[in-house]
Amino acid sequence: MAVRERNILVMNAGSSSQKCCLYRIEGDALLGDPPAPLWKGKIEWSAPDGARLTVLDRQETLPGGEPRGSGVSRLLETLWHGKAAVIGGPGEIAGVGHRVVHGGSEFQEPTRITPAVKEAIARLSPLAPAHNPAALEGIEAAEQLLGRYSPQVAVFDTAFHRTLPDAAAVYPGPHSWLKQGIRRYGFHGINHAWCTERAVTMLPDRDPSDLRLICCHLGNGCSLAAVRGGRCMDTTMGFTPLEGLMMGSRSGSIDPGVLLYLLEAPDGPTAAELGHILNTESGLKGLSGVSEDLRAVVAARDAGDARARLAWEVYIHRLRAQIGAMAASLGGLDVLVFTAGVGENSAAVRSETCAPLGFLGLFLNEQKNHAVSQSGPGKERDISRANSRVRVLVIP
């Protein structure tokens, strides 16, 4: 390997998956379009038939009850063991980058991982219980397999939203909450930042310094970011990833009076039980009674399931409403981006979401919209009509 060629492992611990890619980087910096990954693998923890490990095009089901950390180690070991091996051993990995969801107010830049940083990520875990612990599992697995010779760096989802104006970041509770760090942080920031950069590249005729963009990150977790001139001005997630849009198994925003009512009821849940309900038994899963996976909900809806249809309608209604709110915060809209698993792959979600947005000057080209999902993931597309003032983009 050339002296200035390095293998960089990237790990993304989501609420329902662990995704990893190995990139071979030449030179001191990554400029322009990213290279294709040398290797990629993932674990889908909530797959219907049990946790599913996929490396390149090969799949296997992980043993039931296996700790997640062990599953991550098994995934990483395929880098140098078996038919999918692409390197000779762990010593050939020059560094590891981890997506970490909650960095609080402490971390606003990519940060070298130390014991103190790990302690801080753990301390913030109650604010992102489905994410920060998963990131720590990945960090620990990488440490054990790669040793101290592969430095690890944490990149925080919250960092992109550090530009939120106080009017968008501060909750209308007692002012003392601010001293306790209770404010809106926002999440999915790494991807919102990426999509903002790619949108500017895709639209060279638009002035990036004043481009008004709404990014729709729609996966198992869902959030919107309202961006103007590259700066985040508003977002739907807040103090935790629970606020905002309806999601796979998370409720999104709910009248806090409902929560007080439940907690004060004689046979109501404890605070811990209510947290479990809101994070893992609500959203698409809770309303439909079918699954947190939108594909399964749509299949049930199409088969005549009334609860699945209700779940779909609430999901789309809340998404449309929040796009309207984000457009108002920007004073208009130039670009609407769809990204993440649902955003990239569901033509129906894009179509239903955009249908009433003609008043913004947004018109979808349905032929292009459906062609995106039929051609498979991985390609950036403009799916708006020629006469649409607002451009509609799909960005992986």
Q: Catalytic amino acids?
A: 157
Give the C-alpha separation, 318 to 385, whole Å. 24
Give the C-alpha separation, 337 to 383, whole Å. 10
Give the C-alpha separation, 287 to 55, whole Å. 33
Non-local (6+) Cβ contacts of 116 within 8 A are none
Is residue 241 within 8 A of residue 101, CB to CB? The reply is yes
Name the one residue in this structure whose structure tokens are 């926002």. 186
Sign of CA dihedral 78, 84, 89, 94: negative
Sign of CA dihedral 249, 253, 258, 263: positive
Name the one residue in this structure whose structure tokens are 């309900």. 277
Is residue 289 within 8 A of residue 307, CB to CB? The reply is yes
